[in-house]
Amino acid sequence: MHKNLTYRINNYPENLNKTDVDNEIARAFAVWSNYTDLKFAVGSGKVDIDISFHRGDHGSNCKPFRGTLDMTAHAFFPASLLTGDAHFDLSQNWTIRNDSGLDLFQTAVHEFGHSLGLDHSNFQTAAMWPVVRRYSPNYQLDNDDITGIQKIYGTKTEGTKNSTKDQDASHREGILFSVTTESLPPVSNKTMSETNKIHVS
């Protein structure tokens, strides 16, 4: 399976510094490469993952953004029409390493999980849980995320982060991952009343 992937950021939120966005996107990809042999590099021309920010309708194959918290971003599975691409709602208040809006890094980690073939997780501690928490300085992958990504791409063959932590059998059975032809990851029908959580695709 192809493990050397390229990406491009096509545009940027008006309220954030371009270099800061570049760094947060690279940091989000690194979260997944920490546990696999995946390598990510900025590319030009045809790339594996196109990243862009949009308002409202933005293509016939995309669900429109409404500037609300029920859909802040979405990404496409590897085998879909817009293979691997990730879209973020430009109307959201994107922030970097603070709790005044939606943290770009944490949302990007989740969306890039979809770009790499992961579905939503059943576990609230997972990055792939369909509700992302407000900014956390200790944000990291859960065992469920790690097991899922390694199921697709294998374990890391160099470096130190090459295996999951111990977890019970019921946790392992709850892993959700798929490489599918669906154009968008499934939208969760769960509702969350907690004010410190927001819904993502």
d(C-alpha 82, C-alpha 128), whole Å: 20
d(C-alpha 87, C-alpha 65), whole Å: 10
Q: What are phi and psi of 88, to 5 degrees?
A: -120, 140
> For the stretch 49-79, what's the b/e string if a residue is b when 16 or more beta carbons lie within 10 angstroms of its beta carbon?
bbbebbeeebeeebeebeeeeebbbbbbbbe
Active site (catalytic) residues: 111
**For the chain, give me the number of helices (H) and strands (E)?**
4, 9
The greatest distance separating any two alpha carbons of the chain, rounded to the nearest whole angstrom, comes to 46
